[in-house]
Chain A
Amino acid sequence: MQLDWQAFYLDGRSAVRRPATVQLQPSALRIVIDGGDTVYWPYESIEQTQGSYTGEQVRLERGAASAETLLLSDHGFLAALHQFAPARAGRFHNPARRLARIRLTILAGVVSVILVVLAYLYGIPALATAVTPWVPIAWEESLGALAVDHLAAPESRCADPARQRILDDLITRLSAAVPKSPYKIRVLVVDNPTMNALAAPGGYIVVFRGLIDAARTPEELAGVLAHELQHVLRRHSTRLLLQHVSTGLLMAALFSDASGLASFGLDAAQNLALLRYSRSHETEADEEGLRTLIAAGIDPIGMVSFFKTLQQKEGREPRYLAYLSSHPNTLERIDRLKSLIAQTPAARTKPLAPETLTELRMICPALPRKEKTPTN
């Protein structure tokens, strides 16, 4: 076994490298510097800072800031060291273990991928579920009020006290069917022909006039309100926000050193994740909304027939757009709801008075028309 090795010695005070011979000894390295002294380096005082990669010179340092350094170009030195003094060679890289290192790296990679997938599918939703209850309702209400100011500007709201009461009574009936919640549910109607309704944080539900016009029975409207109510009660907007932030943090942790091209991909990945979580919230709102209708004694078929109306208005929606949509495919929603209704034992339902809808249709001021219609 070769005990003497050629090296260069740096004294840490000048940039001159001096040839030296290094000899392996039981507890230290004996270094004979050409034209100079002999120094002893006990193994415990040496730190190997370079030499773990092929072709890289082995760099041994001793001392703190202005360290003395030994540079060896032959990795055989390391192998010999491990053979000669195995008990003390722990702090030095062992070239024989390079293959093991590659295997460990591959293992680390596989486990990382698994961890990321698990975090995406379960971890982040679980985290959001755990943290959401801690978000104060007051914060949600402020955020909701802000959002509503934008989405339903005060001048575009339909304020008709008598008809508003019909809406509020309907909400009260639905709320009675669910466990008591700290939210004050406020329903607003906006004078806009869009066929839509949405729930803002903190208990605000915004219904657009177009949706009221498109509903064929009061049960359909009740179905939509039940769905939106569930969004509020389950704090979906807060959960979505937390999921969005967590996903962002995960991405940042994964790719903290990347920039440019990679971060563009990250943005896209984050949005896809957001849409996926959003779809799961929609499904939850559908299912729980249906149960709320049944518990409130309202015929759940209204929800299904409303989606059918929606589907007709949407037309054909290609399947592959599913991943880019914040809502599940309407046909899927209809099928899911139908099978849910089939599974639930027939509940006692009382049909809603048809006047509910006809009255609500007039909550917004009538559009100015050419021929004047007498209003009472």
Chain B
Amino acid sequence: MATDSSFSPARAAEGPNAHRFSFHGSGGSLFGIQIVNLFLTLVTLGIYSFWGRVKVRKYMMSQSDFEGDRFAYHGTGKELLIGWLKAIVIIGVSIVALMLLSAGALVYVVFAVFMPVAVVNARRYRLSRTSWRGIRFSFRGEVMDFFKISIMGWLLTAVTLGIAYPIWQNWRQEFLVSHAYFGNRRFDYDGNGKDLLWSYVLNILLSLPTFGICWVWYWARVQRYYSEHTRFGGGNFHSTVTGGGLFGLMFGNLILLIITLGLAWSWVLVRNARFFLGHLYLDGPLETAEIMQEAQAANATGDALSGFFDLDFDLG
């Protein structure tokens, strides 16, 4: 069993060891779920929204497949509701405390502190509620470590006037990936921010002439880079997304949304999932017999907090 992927022949070509992802969902079904969610949310004056959100996550997860078996989402509406209540209390108490201390301006500092907490805990919650073949994922990173990365990353970026941003993002990606587990097996990340530095600077220079469109190609490059440097079980992932493909996806989404005045949102979500998952595969041995269940506990407060900060969550 090769533990170093440099032994596998052409990395770019899919060999017999390629394990594919795919997405089977349809915009129509998701739209149906959203409509029922809307109806139930209206008649319950908003309380149902937590259960509705779970339904959407369950659908998206159940329609995602790896090697012919679907993923599963195990979260519940009750967990989201409780997490939301806790998040409200935390935010509310902080704001009241700040107002009593007449330190209103510190609100931004407090929120800056909450962000890493929210990111880490949300990831921990979501991964713990996701499974494949019955085995749960988990995230075992600590908030303090992420906090340090955020501060150092922010400082480095500020000092270099933004040029070192890819390095900071790479540290972040390393933290998020290398503390993630599937069962008892850890994911690994061996990327280095310096590899993306030139591309980043080039894109900054090209921003103005291309009206910012060059960043789509950068984003595709980052996707490919992150995937390629994410390893699991003796193999590593590959993403075959191209800047052109991504641009086509985003442009198509925009047209769809404009024509339908936003109603095509469900179809956009499905298109995105199909695109990213369809271009992803794992190249390497998949020793399922060696992967054991090692589920970890987690609560949904971070998930709710991240909802307040409108943070994006992506798996992998």
Seen from chain A, the residues whose Cβ lies within 8 Å of a Cβ on chain B are 8, 10-17, 49-50, 53, 55-57, 59, 65-69, 71, 101-102, 104-105, 108-109, 111-112, 115-116, 119, 249, 253-254, 256-259, 261-262, 265
Please indicate the chain A residues that have their CB under 8 angstroms from the CB of B288 in the complex.
Answer: 14-17
Please, how many angstroms separate the alpha-carbon atoms of A104 and B35 in the complex?
Answer: 10
Instruction: Spell out B's residues near A (CB within 8 Å).
Output: 24-25, 29, 32, 34-36, 38-43, 45-46, 49, 53, 56, 58-59, 62-63, 69-70, 72, 132-136, 182-183, 254, 257, 261-262, 265, 288-289, 291-293, 295, 310
Q: Which interface residue of A13, A53, A55, A67 has the most chain B CB atoms within 10 A?
A: A53
Q: Which residues of B contact A67 (CB under 8 A)?
A: 134
Closest to A262 in B: B262
B261 touches A265 (CB 8 A): yes
Q: Assess the B69–A71 pair: CB atoms within 8 A.
A: yes
> In the assembled complex, how far is the CB of residue B83 from the closest CB belonging to chain A, in whole angstroms?
15
Contact B262 A57 (CB under 8 A): no
Is B32 in contact with A253, judged by CB distance below 8 angstroms? no
How many A-B contacts are there with CB distance less than 8 Å? 113
Verify A15–B310 contact, CB threshold 8 A.
Answer: no
Our pick among B69, B132, B295 for the contact of A65 (Cβ within 8 Å) is B295
Query: Nearest B residue to A104 by beta-carbon distance?
Result: B36
Contact yes or no, B293 A66, CB < 8 A = yes
Q: Are A14 and B35 in contact (CB under 8 A)?
A: no
- Residues from chain B with a CB closer than 8 A to the CB of A53 are 25, 29, 59, 62-63
A111 shortest CB reach to chain B, Å: 6
| B69 near A57: Cβ-Cβ < 8 Å | yes
A-B contact pairs, 16 of them (CB 8 A): A10-B133, A14-B288, A15-B132, A15-B289, A50-B72, A53-B63, A55-B24, A66-B134, A69-B134, A105-B32, A109-B39, A115-B42, A249-B46, A257-B34, A262-B257, A265-B261
Bound together, the chains give a CA A27 to CA B295 distance in angstroms of: 32
Task: Say yes or no: A257-B133 contact (C-beta < 8 A), given A13-B293, A16-B288, A105-B35.
Answer: no
Partner of B135, one of A14, A119, A254: A14
Q: When A13-B292, A14-B135, A256-B49 are in contact, do A50 and B70 touch as well, CB less than 8 Å?
A: yes
- List 12 other contacts, CB 8 Å, given A49-B72, A112-B35: A10-B133, A13-B292, A14-B288, A15-B134, A16-B289, A56-B63, A59-B70, A66-B134, A71-B69, A116-B42, A119-B42, A265-B262
